[in-house]
A and B are shown apart, each in its own frame.
Chain A
Amino acid sequence: MPPRPSSSAAAVTISADGRSVRVPAGVTVAAALLDLGVSTFRRSVSGEPRAPLCGMGTCYECRVTIDGVAHRRACLVTVADGMHVTTAATAEERQR
């Protein structure tokens, strides 16, 4: 694949917790969510807020639901046009 320096300027549209947002192409879901101001990616087993720790797939703290598949590591998945991402925040809203 030839390098495409201009691709960093391109954007894709994802749905983050039901919100349709434009994010830069090529970034990971974790980077996109952090820049959208998401601070709680998941809730721990005792309900604590958690967010990316290791950034490299080891710690599993950045787990979110991507296109209906739960427990995906947001730091290992690149955003794609039309992708649906759900964090703990949405799950909590549903419970209310």
Chain B
Amino acid sequence: MSAVAGSATLRDRPATGAHETRADIVVVGAGPAGIAAAARAADSKRRIVVLDEAPNVGGQIWRHRSPATLGSEARAWIDRLSRTNADVRRGVAVVDVVVTGDAGDITVVAERHLGGVDVIRASALVIATGARERFVPFPGWTLPGVTGIGGAQALLKQGATFRGKRVVIAGTGPLILPVAASLTDAGARVVLVAEQAPFQAVRDFAISLLGQPETLLQAAMYRLAFLRTPYAMGTWVTVASGGDRLTAVTVTNSRTTWSLPCDFLCTGYGLVPNVDMARFVGCTTADSAVAVDERQATSVPNVFAAGEVTGVGGVALALVEGEIAGATAAGVARIDPSLGRRRQSLWVVARRMERTFALRQELGSLARDDTVICRCEDVRRAAIASLADSRQAKLYARAGMGACQGRVCGPALELLFGWQPGTVRSPLEPARLSTLSTAALAGAASSDAVHSAGS
């Protein structure tokens, strides 16, 4: 009732231009975890709103322009979601989330990329915000032509053409090989694939996969071997060079250092859970991921989390966690115990992968004094090296103060200096002033609601 009073307050102020919706469950993120959560919760006839920044559902792993290009599992889940009555909104960025006490009244404010503000009030929130790439700063990493590894894959799927381009791929983890394979298939000349992890670690991991259905990775390995793409382990890029854009990279394996001309360098050092929203609403984190119990419940009542945001583990784990989170959020009392067992066994593989692709120490000292660490504010290493923590780096030198809100430099500061990320504040994404005024009104309406409920 109180939330209805709040929504009436907003509707009485048409000047804000907000589009307000009442739902049972709001799911943030429409990757595998968010899709599974929404689809599962919809089975219980709940009113569901799903929000995602991208133009299409699927997240990073199931990114597509036409469903015809998707694998059968992805298509099945996306079809299943589309057959529910879930209200799926794409192209919106969540800028504010207000969780008001024990009542379970949750307000989410989201800005549409090309104008308009959505305010959703719900009783439960499922955070399925996924993960982003970890970037390691090194001289030249800001040059146009240097992209993430997942970044290159995303741009390729968005329609960018890499045909005939000379590409170096350098980083770590199981993402490297499938991306190398898809860039090669797209006509790029992949001149080197450099994996920083040593040969022995990668070999042991590959052997451990023999009993696992990691077909994507194995197919990529066979394909690259067939195409004779140079794949070097214990190898990393130390410098990217060029004028207004990338023209060459310097590569080392600690014994030999050499230079390679190229048009693109795709570089990424694993994934970082997107915990900002969860931390903002007060969820406890552990090891840079949102801490959840066996029902995917976070430390905040009525707030659940699923997928990479609770620890990087791949699409299969994200789907299982999404199903559990969706069922729990919908109030299902008994959840199929086989889901829990599957979650546990996938979790073990994920942690083993994390150990295999642990970053080598040398990567933390590639940045020079004049290397940009915070790309939004052009804060160079020398400006922050003598400071004590990320809070000082932000207050004294503006590192993490810019548009990305420290999402790129935060993990870099941790690698370089061992600094933990600072406090998360709203807006969660840069927003227009009109959106912020709507967010303020929506937050005020929630407070009124709590006040009236308590009086």
Q: How far is the CA of A72 from the CA of B274 in the complex (A)?
A: 21
Chain A residue at smallest Cβ distance from B153: A55
Determine whether the beta carbon of A66 is less than 8 Å from that of B408. no
Determine whether the beta carbon of A49 is less than 8 Å from that of B150. no
**Which chain B residues numbered 7 to 50 have a C-beta less than 8 Å away from chain A?**
none
Encoded as 1 (CB less than 8 Å from any B CB) or 0, chain A from 73 to 87 comes to: 101111000000000
**Closest CB-CB distance, B92 to chain A, in whole Å?**
10
Chain A residue at smallest Cβ distance from B141: A53
In the complex, B118 has a CB within 8 A of chain A: no
**Which chain B residues numbered 359 to 415 have a C-beta less than 8 Å away from chain A?**
372, 375-378, 402-404, 407-408
**Which chain A residues numbered 41 to 57 have a C-beta less than 8 Å away from chain B?**
41, 44-46, 48-57
Determine whether the beta carbon of A58 is less than 8 Å from that of B132. yes
In the complex, B187 has a CB within 8 A of chain A: no
**Which chain A residues numbered 6 to 35 have a C-beta less than 8 Å away from chain B?**
7-8, 24, 26-28, 30-32, 34-35
Determine whether the beta carbon of B158 is less than 8 Å from that of A27. yes
Determine whether the beta carbon of B66 is less than 8 Å from that of A50. no
In the complex, B260 has a CB within 8 A of chain A: no
| Residues of chain B lying within 8 A (CB to CB) of residue A76 | 53-55, 91, 113
Beyond A52-B147, A53-B408, A72-B114, whether A39 also contacts B245 by CB under 8 A is yes
**Closest CB-CB distance, A83 to chain B, in whole Å?**
9
| Residues of chain B lying within 8 A (CB to CB) of residue A30 | 155, 158, 160
Q: How far is the CA of A54 from the CA of B130 in the complex (A)?
A: 14
Beyond A54-B132, A67-B114, whether A44 also contacts B142 by CB under 8 A is yes
In the complex, B273 has a CB within 8 A of chain A: no
Q: Per a CB cutoff under 8 Å, which of A48, A57, A72 touches B378?
A: A48
| Residues of chain B lying within 8 A (CB to CB) of residue A45 | 376-378, 402
Q: How far is the CA of A48 from the CA of B374 in the complex (A)?
A: 13
Chain B residue at smallest Cβ distance from A62: B155
Determine whether the beta carbon of B151 is less than 8 Å from that of A56. yes
Determine whether the beta carbon of B154 is less than 8 Å from that of A55. yes
**Which chain B residues numbered 138 to 161 have a C-beta less than 8 Å away from chain A?**
142-148, 150-155, 158-161
Beyond A4-B66, A60-B402, A67-B114, whether A54 also contacts B151 by CB under 8 A is yes
**Which chain B residues numbered 156 to 181 have a C-beta less than 8 Å away from chain A?**
158-161
**Closest CB-CB distance, B107 to chain A, in whole Å?**
23
Determine whether the beta carbon of A5 is less than 8 Å from that of B55. no
Chain B residue at smallest Cβ distance from A28: B158
Determine whether the beta carbon of B407 is less than 8 Å from that of A59. yes
Beyond A8-B65, A26-B65, A30-B160, whether A71 also contacts B145 by CB under 8 A is no
In the complex, B218 has a CB within 8 A of chain A: no
Q: Per a CB cutoff under 8 Å, which of B65, B66, B160 touches A34?
A: B160
Beyond A3-B68, A71-B403, A75-B154, whether A56 also contacts B132 by CB under 8 A is yes
| Residues of chain B lying within 8 A (CB to CB) of residue A57 | 53-54, 93
Q: How far is the CA of A50 from the CA of B142 in the complex (A)?
A: 7
**Closest CB-CB distance, A77 to chain B, in whole Å?**
6
Chain A residue at smallest Cβ distance from B75: A3
Determine whether the beta carbon of B60 is less than 8 Å from that of A32. no
Q: How far is the CA of A25 from the CA of B24 in the complex (A)?
A: 36
Beyond A39-B145, A49-B244, whether A54 also contacts B150 by CB under 8 A is yes
In the complex, B96 has a CB within 8 A of chain A: no
**Closest CB-CB distance, B14 to chain A, in whole Å?**
22
**Closest CB-CB distance, A75 to chain B, in whole Å?**
7
**Closest CB-CB distance, A40 to chain B, in whole Å?**
6
**Closest CB-CB distance, A85 to chain B, in whole Å?**
12
| Residues of chain A lying within 8 A (CB to CB) of residue B402 | 45, 60
Determine whether the beta carbon of A54 is less than 8 Å from that of B148. yes
In the complex, B133 has a CB within 8 A of chain A: yes
In the complex, B135 has a CB within 8 A of chain A: yes
Question: In this complex, which of A4, A26, A54, A67 has the most chain B Cβ atoms within 10 angstroms of its Cβ?
Answer: A54
Q: Per a CB cutoff under 8 Å, which of A49, A60, A61 touches B430?
A: A60
In the complex, B422 has a CB within 8 A of chain A: no
| Residues of chain A lying within 8 A (CB to CB) of residue B113 | 72-73, 76-77
Chain A residue at smallest Cβ distance from B376: A60
Beyond A5-B68, A60-B402, whether A28 also contacts B159 by CB under 8 A is yes
Chain A residue at smallest Cβ distance from B272: A58
| Residues of chain A lying within 8 A (CB to CB) of residue B403 | 60, 63, 71
Q: State the B residues within 8 Å of A (CB).
A: 53-55, 60, 65-68, 91, 93, 113-115, 132-133, 135, 142-148, 150-155, 158-161, 244-245, 274, 372, 375-378, 402-404, 407-408, 430
* A-B contact list, 16 entries, CB within 8 Å: A27-B160, A30-B158, A40-B144, A40-B244, A50-B375, A53-B146, A53-B147, A53-B408, A54-B148, A56-B151, A73-B113, A75-B158, A76-B54, A76-B55, A76-B113, A78-B55
Q: Which 6 residue pairs are nearest across A and B when measured between Cβ atoms? A: A27-B159, A55-B154, A51-B144, A55-B151, A60-B403, A31-B159
